[in-house]
Every structure is written in C-alpha cells, then in structure tokens.
Amino acid sequence: MSYIRGSDSDYDDDDWDCEYDSTWEDEDKTFKKKKNNPSTRSRRNMYAARDMQEFRRSLRRTKNEGSLLQSLSCMQTHCQGPFYNLEFYKGSRRSKPDSVSIYEFHKEWKGKYDRLERVHSYIQWLFPIEEKGMNWEAHVLTKEEIKQFRKDNEAKGNLLKSYELMLDFYGIRLVNDHTGEVTHAHNWKERFDNLNRNTHNNLWITRILKCLGALGYEHFQEKLVRFFLQETLVENRLPNLKQSVLDYFIFAVLDKSQRQDLIRFAFCHYQPQKDFVWGPKKILLRTALYECASNETKIVPGYESTASGERKRTPSSRSNTE
C-alpha cells in the first residue's frame, strides 16, 4: 500500500468548510475553517450536515442527562409513558395503520420483497427515531423511552431481528450479531438492482442507522457504513447510493474515531480527490491510511507519493460520541 504526502503549500486550496460538522474540530489545532465562501459551501450538503450533527448531539444530551432526568422528572409525567415504540417492540401494541404486531411482522413479512418495497408505513415503527416521519400514526422516540429501550433485552432482541429482516431486503447478511459485521446475501445482485432503482431506501437506511445508534446498537453502525462505502466508491455497484453514503450514512456514526476512519477510507477511494468536501484534505492527506482494494498508489493530481511508499498513520483521537 502507498501513502500520499504534500507540502504545506499544497493544502492552501483546501476548500473544506462546514460549520455543522464537529468530526475534526480537535484533530488539528492549526486548521481553520474558511468562512463566508459561497462557492465552496455549496459543494457540501449543509442541510445533511446540520441534520446529522443535531442527531449526534441529541443522543449525547440524552446520555448526559440520564441521571438528572431520573432524579428530577421520574415522579412526574416524563417517566410514565406511554412508550409506544417500546410497547410495539415488546408485542403489546400493534402498528398503525397496518395493525401488525412485531412478531407477525418478523414471521409474515420476511422475504416479501414486493410488499416491503411497496408499503411505506412500517419503517417508522420498525426503526423509531426522535424525528417525525411520513407515517403520522407512528410515534417519535422520547428521551426516556430511549433509556428504557436500551435496558430491555426483549425489545433489543426484536430490534435485532428487524435489522436482519431489512438487511435481507437490501441483499445484505449479518455475519456476527455481536460485532455487526455484514456481507453480501446470496441474492445481492437482484436486491442491489432494487436499491439502485428505488432511492427512497436511502432515507430508510439513514433512519436505520440513526435508530441503531439511539437504541443500543451503535457498534453496528460502522460496519454497515463501511460496507456501503466499499460497494459505492470501490466496487461501483450502488452508484445511486453514493451521495447519501457520503452526506448521511457516514455522519450517523456516533463514534468520532470510527467516523474519522470512514472519512479517510472515503477520501482514499473518491475520484477526483480534489473535489472531496466531507473532511479537511489538509488533515486527510497527512493521516489517511490508504485501504484500497488494490496495491496501486492512489495519486492526487499535484501530489507525490513518498519515496519509500510508507508513512505512519497518526493515532486517532480516543473513541467518543461527538
């Protein structure tokens, strides 16, 4: 594998600018974001960046406020529910408007690809988040419900089954239900065709990633996003997911060090690299470990590889959730 280096002057044209992305805020003390540059700001989807940062920060606040909320509010209405999503996942509430229990869904909908593609009202029940979706009869997660759900093994077990069901719908198989490692399902070519045709699934996958982070499976996020980066940027099998993977999927990952590694991987395989706007090239060119499928050197126009082809990767910051 080869690495790329550039002189300090090579970084002067770094056009990365995103006030809504805290992924790199402490990575390089000398790096300063450009301000008020419309030509560069327009190249990054600022709505997506703001949405994903708000998602990450909302979950961080939920975790940080946990003990305080319990002591101050649990004798009031905050802890009394009803917890619509938790009740659905424990089998005591049916979805609306479909009137399906979680157990019926797992039994009767798995592998029914036409139904899963055609019906759009179930996804908000299967993967609830703190944001309203298109099904107005579904319910958003509350902060207390998130804490209760994460402690409930029955609910979490059923959520894992829902995740496997949707992975199968997308042509993906869960290899390890402890680490979250995924690979291709036997029918992945057919299912990838469906993914490329029906781009509303990009929104659904974003919701799934957010739900995993909220309800106790945040360690699954990185594995799924890396899979999609491989399939979009390296294999080019899912071209119609590429923008969503870069704008949304990566930034749903709560662990900052994992998010940084995913951006490095994306930068390595993105072409042309000079147009990469999802992280500061100033940092990426200095630290990115090139994890390319081939051993060919990836050269950015205007940059040269090191003579030895070796450059040590700087340690990533410790794991955290924002």
Query: What average pLDDT score do residues 111-132 get?
Result: 96
287-314 pLDDT tens trace:
665 444 443 434 343 333 333 333 344 3
Residue 187 — φ and ψ, nearest 5°?
-105, 30
10-47 pLDDT tens trace:
444 555 667 788 898 754 444 445 454 555 455 789 99
pLDDT at 155: 98
Taking CA 228 as the corner, what is the angle to CA 294 and CA 43, rounded to the nearest 5 degrees? 95
pLDDT bracket for residue 166 (50, 70, 90): very high
Tokens of 91: 């089998």
Task: Please check whether residue 313 is in contact with residue 17, taking contact to mean a CB–CB distance below 8 angstroms.
Answer: no
pLDDT at 21: 87
Residue 67 has pLDDT above 70, yes or no: no
Q: Is the Cα dihedral 125, 129, 134, 137 positive or negative?
A: positive
pLDDT at 197: 97
Residue 144 has pLDDT above 60, yes or no: yes
Residue 229 — φ and ψ, nearest 5°?
-65, -40
Distance CA(214)–CA(254), nearest Å, equals 9
Query: Can you tell me which residue has the tokens 């050197």?
Result: 297
Question: What letter would DSSP give residue 141?
Answer: P
154 or 16, greater pLDDT = 154
pLDDT at 60: 87
Transcribe 213-251 into DSSP letters.
HHTT-HHHHHHHHHHHHIIIIIS-S-GGGHHHIIIIIGG
Close Cβ partners of 275 (under 8 Å, ≥ 6 residues apart): 43
